[in-house]
């Protein structure tokens, strides 16, 4: 039996475009701009959080409305200019926006902005002022048609109150006040939260129960997972769906809006990550996120999440200065992780998803198949944790479907999809054998008559 078998007679809906990201294409005062790369990768959705971190000058509430004592109804109370330019850079790529209403993370010993607002109702009015500016043209604004509005980020983060200094109940109440006000202002908008940190059980279940009990608007639920195994992410997706359905939210839109590859060599190494003596380990952890290891993880996750209850996803982080994760280096050069996003976007252009089956017992290998109305097809394989060896791919063509040749390329330690190979296919050829080392990604295109 082949390692991977595709059946082109079994078609389903197109792939879910799960290659959204956090943040936009410019940084360093717009000196670094990767707009062409965003366009090439067809980034579908950009979530705004930790924008230009660690020194955010836009998006966060305090950067737009710096004096909480002022009047939210007065346009002069807002400083929109920097955020205007930043959002324009995202809109220019063709990506849609998820706007996180709140503050960026604060790892400093003193916390400045991640506290519960002094007046929840007034804070909600400020949020509506931001919505009016970017959707309704208010205060010399725009008509960006931003549909998704997320209230705060990771209020359950257990790491020293880096995101929320209040209690669970204070966040629940802030969410209630803000979401209700936003929906009253414009019922067509989608309001969501709670941007759960690694799916924190007590806080998250409490939030879901609170929203249900008090009939609080909740149009989409957001959650995060950083892991070294794609199956852990999938397990969290199923767990979140289970909790929502148990609360009666049967058709809730679910967003995995922070995710990334995070692998530590040991528990002790993980403890050293942010210590002064942990610099060498920190470099290793963050560089492997961007290289073939992180790329194979992402390729595997794009395949695995197609069958998981995830409607949108946003990788953290794509802005071209990010130390943590990242599609680019600080100079704007695309990394191997970016290559996977760009190639996955090519798969999303096909009309159908094709059934792909992995041989029983084969662990750490993930696959996708896609096909177009003209018969052209493609195969996507991630050898994330499988053996380094020759893998056999076989397929069953649809009626009257015949492939003339196959063009395939691999990303691994030495390659970046940059050395394609071509193989002519005879009428009876229905398989392909390719050597895939561990941490490799294959994209094979089958060209039809």
Between the CA atoms of 288, 228, 296 and 385, what dihedral angle is there, to the nearest 10 degrees?
A: 110
pTM over 0.75: yes
> Residue 161's CB: how many other CB atoms inside 10 A?
14
Residues 283 and 379 in one domain: no
Q: Which H/E stretch holds residue 22? A: strand 20-22
Residues 287 and 420 in one domain: no
Question: What number of CA atoms fall less than 13 Å from residue 340's CA on the CB side?
Answer: 34
Residues 309 and 372 in one domain: no
Sign of CA dihedral 27, 33, 34, 36: positive
Residues 321 and 235 in one domain: yes
Residues 272 and 416 in one domain: no
Asked whether residue 298 carries a pLDDT value surpassing 90, the answer given is yes
Asked whether residue 200 carries a pLDDT value surpassing 80, the answer given is no
Contact 394, 372 (CB under 8 A): no
pLDDT, the chain, mean:
95
Sequence-distant (≥ 6) Cβ neighbours of residue 261 within 8 angstroms: 226, 227, 228, 288, 289, 293, 294, 297, 298, 325
What is the mean predicted confidence (pLDDT) over 296-316?
98
| Structure token pair of residue 191 | 């309001």
Question: Which of 177, 196, 173 is CA-nearest to residue 185?
Answer: 177
* 3-state DSSP helix/strand/coil % of the chain, to nearest 5: 30, 25, 45
The residues pairing with 431 across neighbouring beta strands, listed in sequence order, are: 394
pLDDT for res 55: 87
Q: How confident is the model at residue 266 (pLDDT cuts 50, 70, 90)?
A: confident
Residues 308 and 360 in one domain: no
Residues 26 and 119 in one domain: yes
pLDDT in tens, 224-260: 999 999 999 999 999 999 999 999 999 999 999 999 9
DSSP state of 278: G
Residues 293 and 358 in one domain: no
Of residues 188 and 429, which shows the higher confidence score?
188
Residues 408 and 292 in one domain: no
Residues 291 and 366 in one domain: no
- CATH number for the domain that contains residue 410: 2.60.40.1180
Q: What's the domain count of the chain? A: 2
Residues 343 and 374 in one domain: no
Asked whether residue 412 carries a pLDDT value surpassing 90, the answer given is yes
How far is 159 from 139, CA to CA, in rounded Å? 38
Our measurement of the distance from residue 383's CA atom to the centroid of its chain's CA atoms, rounded to an integer in Å, reads: 21
At residue 11, the 3 state secondary structure works out as strand
Of 347, 371, 400, the one marking the end of a domain is 347
Residues 359 and 336 in one domain: no
Of 347, 368, 394, the one marking the end of a domain is 347
Residues found in the chain: 449
Residue span of the structural domain in which 143 resides: 18-347
């Amino acid at each position: 039996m082949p390692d991977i078998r595709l059946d082109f007679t079994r078609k389903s809906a197109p792939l879910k475009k799960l290659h959204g990201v956090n943040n936009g294409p410019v940084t360093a005062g717009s000196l670094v701009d990767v707009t062409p790369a965003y366009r090439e990768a067809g980034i579908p959705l950009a979530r705004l959080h930790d924008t230009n971190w660690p020194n955010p000058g836009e998006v966060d509430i305090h950067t737009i409305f710096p004096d909480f004592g002022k009047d939210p109804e007065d346009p002069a109370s807002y400083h929109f200019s920097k955020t205007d330019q930043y959002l324009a850079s995202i809109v220019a790529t063709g990506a849609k926006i998820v706007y996180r209403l709140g503050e960026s993370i604060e790892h400093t010993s003193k916390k400045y902005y991640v506290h519960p607002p002094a007046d929840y109702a007034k804070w909600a009015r400020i949020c509506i002022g931001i919505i009016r500016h970017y959707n309704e043209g208010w205060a010399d604004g725009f008509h960006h048609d931003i549909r998704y509005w997320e209230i705060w980020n990771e209020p359950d983060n257990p790491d020293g109150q880096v995101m929320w200094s209040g209690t669970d109940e204070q966040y629940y109440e802030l969410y209630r006040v803000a979401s209700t006000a936003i929906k009253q202002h414009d019922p067509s908008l989608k309001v969501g939260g709670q941007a759960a940190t690694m799916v924190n059980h007590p806080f998250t279940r409490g939030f879901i129960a609170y929203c249900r009990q008090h009939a609080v608007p909740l149009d989409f639920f957001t959650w995060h997972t950083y892991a070294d195994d794609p199956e852990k992410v999938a397990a969290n997706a199923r767990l979140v769906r289970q909790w929502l359905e148990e609360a009666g939210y049967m058709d809730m839109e679910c967003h995995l809006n922070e995710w990334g590859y995070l692998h530590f060599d040991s528990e002790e190494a993980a403890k050293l990550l942010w210590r002064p003596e942990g610099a060498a380990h920190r470099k290793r952890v963050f560089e492997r996120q961007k290289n073939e290891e992180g790329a194979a993880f992402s390729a595997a996750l794009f395949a695995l999440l197609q069958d998981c209850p995830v409607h949108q996803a946003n990788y953290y982080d794509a802005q071209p200065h990010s130390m943590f994760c990242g599609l680019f280096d600080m100079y704007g050069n695309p990394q191997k992780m970016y290559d996977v996003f760009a190639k996955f976007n090519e798969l999303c252009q096909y009309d159908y998803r094709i059934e792909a089956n992995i041989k029983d017992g084969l662990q750490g290998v993930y696959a996708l198949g896609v096909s177009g109305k003209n018969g052209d097809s493609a195969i996507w394989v991630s050898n994330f944790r499988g053996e380094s060896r020759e893998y056999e791919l076989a397929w069953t063509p649809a009626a009257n479907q015949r492939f003339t040749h196959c063009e395939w390329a691999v990303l691994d330690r030495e390659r970046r999809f940059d050395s394609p190979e071509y193989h002519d296919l005879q009428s009876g050829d229905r398989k392909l054998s390719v050597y895939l080392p561990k941490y490799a990604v294959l994209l094979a295109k089958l060209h039809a008559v």
